[in-house]
Each structure stands twice: as structure tokens, then as C-alpha cells.
Amino acid sequence: MPTDPPELKTLSARRPLYQRISLVWLVPLAAVVIAVALAAQNWAARGPLIELLFDEATGITEGSTELRYRDVTVGHVEAVEFEPGLERVVVKVRLNQDIADYVDRDAVFWVVKPEVTTTGVSGLNTVLSGVYIAGVWDADPGGVVLRHEGQTKAPLLPAGDSGLLLTLEAAAGVALTANAPITYKGLEVGRVGTPELSADRQSAIAPAVIFAPYDQLVRSTTRFWDTSGFSFSLGASGAELDFSSLSSLIAGGVSFDTVISGGTPVSDDAPFQVFASQSDARQNVFDAGRGNGVPFSIIFEDNVSGLEVDAPVEVRGLKIGVVTGITGIVDEARFNDSKVRLQISVELNPAELRLASPNAADQAVEEFMAKRVQSGLRARLVSTGLFATGLKVELIDVADAPEAELVRDHDPYPLIPVTESVISDAGASAEGMLSRLGELPIEELMQSAVRFLDTATGLAANTTMLVQDDTVRAIPADVRALLGDVRGVVGSAEIQGLPGQTAQLLTDLNSTVTDLRDLIAQVEEARAIEKLVQTVEAAGDVAASAEASLAGMPGLIESLTETAETARALPLDKLVARVSDVVADVETLLEQPGTRAIPQTLNDTLNEMRLALSELREGGTVAALNDTMASARSAATAIEEATVDLPQISARIDALLKQAAATLAGYDQGSEINRTARSAMTALTRAAAAVESLARALERRPNSLILGR
């Protein structure tokens, strides 16, 4: 039996701990350390959780919606919850640690989402990526504020940007559009915010911003106006469609300009009014703006048509306010009757009164008015002008006014006492003047003038006939003298000595001879032919002496001879006699009282007109043309009809003068008759010219008779 092998002693040696524990345990240890370190680091880097309150959380999703500052992601939405009461949405945003300190009280948050408005498309990138929350804050760390009100829109002037914030107030008829551009000379320099009702619910106000550096353009004297929409006018110059730009037509817009230089720089949130048009804005530049006015009431005894809302309230021609309302009032208790009275409300502008600062308290203006009323200030209605039928309210100091007080407790506004109104009756007097003018015997005057001139023409015709009469005797002697002169000239040493001048002389001679021929044709039957022949022969001698130097002379001499021979046959004596008669007749004509009277009559006419015009002016007839135009027109028509004859008159005078001139041409210049006739003719010419110019003037501007210009 084999013995069992000895039991193998296996001693389990107790090995030290470091040998029994594997080094591999370091790996999980390292993993734990890394994990803990990462977690700790993450925790440390975690920014604060801020709450943003919005009305709605359109498109905001937990976990993925970002908070961006200048388009850099600085946080994520962690949760979207409701406020207790479900009124609003609380969006919890985990901020990045590094930015948290800047998110202080002035931080503004809004949701950026795609928007298509009339002014353009914005937030297009959010169509695909989803909305994000944008935030702005300034660069001064002020400690994180954990709860913020979210805005619905981006702020007009983000914190950190420079610009000028204004408050725009819409005047009547102006619609402010959110996001509308503000332009300055066509340049976009600002933007209008969202309009809302003013505190007193009287107008719409909107914040607006003018970006730097254009904010320097806005001064206290700057005026804003609405450029949206278009204006259409149909007038004498044709139809006119006016709008500043297509975009402002659709989107609206506001423009501004500093109408008068000076002014002071404005502070933030300064109020400005937006006027309906540029002209309104300019007109209003001296106004401190409506709404600053202090209201008063005035009660007039009668209703007077012509007074309108916006009619001016003036003191000695200076506009200090406007009429804001007109109502009728029946107050039996106060007036002891049931008559309807005219109660108007006016607003007096303290700035125009130059009382104190433009913002003088209503109380101060009231005090001032009360004092002035005690010393005689009264209100009255006055016509606005000579032509217009409108009325205005005038405040005037009446020296001996009955005692009156400013009724302070009058409803609705303090009552200013009135005095007698001055409403000119200009229309009636103007009409009377014009009808008197229309009744002036201008036509008869003209007719008689025409008649007179007709007879004058007949007279002139007689005169021409008389020239051919036998009794014209003085002429041969004159002709002889004339020929003697000619001879003297021809025989002068200058002509003989200067052959060069001979040609000129001959030309003159030729024309003289032509004239002579005409004359001689008329005096064919004259008896003094022989003398004429002698003269002509003498002229022929002169011509013969000139023949040596000039070749063309014989022809001339021949014609002269011919002329002389024709002249011989003339009945010159008859002609001379006739001329004498004509002159006598003309003289008698000129001595006739009728002729003398012509200039006088015209003068009188003009004087009458002048008188009428001065009367017109004195009477203030230039007023109320709409009433009196009809009669003025009829008067003008009468004048026009009359003036139709005037050119005729002047034409006849002209013709007469020509005939007279032709007749008198043959006379010696020195003759007495001639002189008289000439002066008469000059007078006639002047008269004719005066009539003609009057006719022309009347034709051109019939109303000049009325206006006196």
C-alpha cells in the first residue's frame, strides 16, 4: 500500500496591502477625480439664472433659445414658466458668468422674430434658426439684477449708443406711424417709436430718436412735420400731385428743419409737435405750440357770420391767440331774455403775450388779463381785411369803457367783456362808387369827340380843294425865294471849288427838283411861270457850269428844263389862293370853341376819373370785391365799349393831321398862319396821344379805373 504523499503544505503568505491591491484602482480613481473636477468647474462657471417677464413666449423653447448681446450668445433659456396668476410668462435664462455683472438695472430685453412691416423686413435670420432674445446693456458693470421686464420691441436708442430721444406729439390731422423714418433733407437720421395716447388723451405722442451725430441738428426752434401721404391740388397751373417719396407714402415719415437760426440745444425727451405740412410747421415757428394757450370766453351780443375757428385774436395787429370754438348760448337767468348769443372760446398764448416764460402759469395770464380788463381792455369783432368777409377778434383798450371785470368763474373759461364791434360796410359803399362811375357820360363824350373829328376831316378835305384855288397868291414869291436860295447854294464857291461835293449836291438838287415837280404839277395853272422858267434857266446855267466836272449833268438839265416847261402850264395863282383860304379856314377852325374844348374835355374826363378814383380810395371801395365786382364789371364794359371808339378817334385825328401837314407843307416856315396851325396841330397831336394812351390803358387793364392805378 503506497503511502500517501505527504500533505503539501501550502502556506498562504500574508502579503502586504500594497501587493494585494492592484494599481488598476488608480484608473477609476482618476475617472472620479476628473468627473468631480469637471462638475465642479461647470458649477463654478455657471452664471446666474435671471427671469424675464414677457406677455407671450412666441417661439421661445426651453434649452435652445439663446440670449444674445450684440449677436453673441451670452445665455440660454432654461425654463419657460407662468407667473402666479397666469398673467405673464416668465422666461428663465442662464446667463454666462462673464457677462452677468453687466446685466444691471438698465438692461433691456426683447424677443427678435421675423417681421415684415411697411418699412422693411427684419429678423429674417430667425425664420430658420428660431427666435432669440436680444438684450442690451451699457458697459458699466452694476451687479446682476435677476428680474427684468421684457419689452415687445427693440429700444429706440439702445444703451451705449448715442443719440437724442424726443417726444413727438401729433397735431390734428397727423398720424404718427411706428418705426417711421425721420429724415433731414432726405437723409434718414432717426426713427419714430410706437405711438400712444398722451396722458390727457388729447393727442397721440410717440417717442423718437435722432441718432448721433445728427442730434446736433435739433434745437429748440426746430419744427417737425409729417411727410407721409400725398397732396393733390387742382389749380390754375394745372393738377399737382405731391409726395416726398414712395416709401414715406407707404410707411409714413417725419421730417424736420430748424426754420430760424439760434435756439438752444434740447435735452432728452423734449416735446415737439409734428405738423401736418412743412408750411404749417414754418408758419407755427413762433408759436410755442397749441396746448400751451390759456383759454378765455367771450360773449357777443349777436351772431355774426364770418367768424371761424382758428380766426386770430389780435392786439394792435399782433396775433396773440386763436379762436378755438364758437357756440351759441341762451342764458335767461343772466341776460333776462332768450336771445341767442355768440359765445366763443379763445386761447391766448402766453409766449406771444411776452408775459414771462413761455410756460407761464395759467394763473399768471389770468391775473394779467384781469388787470388789463379793469383798465379798459375789451374784446370786439373786427373785419379781417378790406377784401375778405372774415372776422377776427381784437382786444382793444377802450378809454371810456363802462366798468367791467374779468368774470373768472364763468363756465367754461373766464369771460372777457366786449365792446362795440367794428364791422366795416365796405361792400355797399364800393358798389355805390362803381355804379356812379358807370353812370359817367363817357360814351357821349366819345361820340361827340368822334363827331367833331369827322367835321375836322371834312374841313381838311375842303382845305386840299382850296389849295387849287386861284386865290393862292403868296406862293410864287415863296417859290421864287426858294429858288433864289437854291441858286445861292448852287452858285456857292464851295460847290464850284469842290467837285467831290457836287455829286452830293446834285442828288440834293435832284430831290429838290422832284419835290418841285410835284409842287409844280399842282400849280400848273399859276401865272408866275415865266419867273419860274427864269429861275430854272438860271439853275440850268449853274448845271452847265457843273457840266465840266460831271458827265451826267445834261440829262438832269434836260429833265429840269422839262420840269420847268411843265411848270409853266401850272395855274399857280389859283393854288396860292386856295392855300391862303385853307390857312384861314384852319385858323377859324382852331379858333372855334369846339376845337379848343377838345383837350379841355379830355382833361375834364381825366379829372373826373381821377376824382372818381380818389373817391373810390377814400371810401375804401377796394374792399369786398365779391359783392361789387358785378357792377364794376358792367362799368368796365361800358368803358370798354366807349374805348372801342378811341382808336378810331385817334386814327381820324391822325388822318386829319396828315392832310393838314400835306397842305401846310407848301407854306413858308416862317409864316404866321403856319405857326398857329402848327401849334394847333401839336395840341391836337398831344390830345390824340393822350386819348390813345388812355384807350390802351383801359383796354389793357379795365380795373385800373377802379383801383386808381
Partner 1 sequence: MMADTPIPTTKEAGLLGCRYCTRVWPSGTKTCGCCGSKLVSRDLQSLQKVWAWWLVALICYVPANLYPMLRTSTLGSVSQDTIVGGAITLAEHGSYFVAGVILLASVVIPILKFLAIAYLAISVARPSTAREGTRHMLFELVEYIGRWSMIDVFVVAILSSLVHLGNFASVEPGPASLTFALTVVFTMISAQSFDSRLIWDQQEFEKDTDRAH
Least CB distance from residue 24 to partner 1, whole Å? 4
Contact between 35 and partner 1 by CB under 8 A: the answer reads: yes
Report the alpha-carbon distance of residue 671 to residue 681 in Å, rounded: 15
- Which residues make Cβ contacts (< 8 Å) with residue 682, sequence separation at least 6? none
Least CB distance from residue 359 to partner 1, whole Å? 54
Q: Which is nearer to partner 1, 12 or 336 (CB)?
A: 12
Place of cell 446855267: 541
In one letter, which amino acid is 128? L
Contact between 31 and partner 1 by CB under 8 A: the answer reads: yes
Residue 587: closest CA among 659, 679, 697? 679
Report the alpha-carbon distance of residue 688 to residue 452 in Å, rounded: 13
Which residue from 3, 8, 16, 25 is in contact with partner 1, where contact means CB under 8 A?
25
Contact between 125 and partner 1 by CB under 8 A: the answer reads: yes
Contact between 376 and partner 1 by CB under 8 A: the answer reads: no
Contact between 37 and partner 1 by CB under 8 A: the answer reads: no
Residue 109: closest CA among 71, 69, 140? 69
Least CB distance from residue 23 to partner 1, whole Å? 9
Report the alpha-carbon distance of residue 709 to residue 703 in Å, rounded: 9
Contact between 13 and partner 1 by CB under 8 A: the answer reads: no
Strand bridging mode 318-329 / 204-211: unpaired
Least CB distance from residue 123 to partner 1, whole Å? 13
From residue 157, give the alpha-carbon distance in Å to each of 65, 208, 257, 486. Answer: 24, 9, 21, 105
Report the alpha-carbon distance of residue 390 to residue 657 in Å, rounded: 56
Spell out, one character per residue from 48 to 87, where the chain touches partner 1: x when CB under 8 A holds, - when not.
Answer: ----------------x-----------------------
Which residue from 22, 162, 305, 338 is in contact with partner 1, where contact means CB under 8 A?
22
Residue 546 C-alpha from the chain's centroid: 77
Q: Which is nearer to partner 1, 32 or 465 (CB)?
A: 32
Contact between 216 and partner 1 by CB under 8 A: the answer reads: no
Spell out, one character per residue from 83 to 122, where the chain touches partner 1: x when CB under 8 A holds, - when not.
Answer: ----------------------------------------
Least CB distance from residue 126 to partner 1, whole Å? 9
Contact between 130 and partner 1 by CB under 8 A: the answer reads: yes
Least CB distance from residue 28 to partner 1, whole Å? 4
* Cβ pair 393, 323 in contact under 8 A: yes
Which residue from 21, 236, 246, 551 is in contact with partner 1, where contact means CB under 8 A?
21
Report the alpha-carbon distance of residue 590 to residue 583 in Å, rounded: 10
Which residue from 1, 24, 44, 551 is in contact with partner 1, where contact means CB under 8 A?
24
Least CB distance from residue 29 to partner 1, whole Å? 9
Q: Is 535 helix (H, G, I), strand (E, B) or coil?
A: helix
Q: Which is nearer to partner 1, 66 or 226 (CB)?
A: 66
DSSP 94: E
**Terminal CA-CA length for the chain:** 173
Stretch that binds partner 1, among 14-22, 135-143, 450-458, 527-535 (CB under 8 A): 14-22
* Cβ pair 443, 549 in contact under 8 A: no
Report the alpha-carbon distance of residue 93 to residue 99 in Å, rounded: 13
Residues near partner 1 (CB under 8 A) are 20-22, 24-25, 27-28, 31-32, 35, 64, 125, 128-130
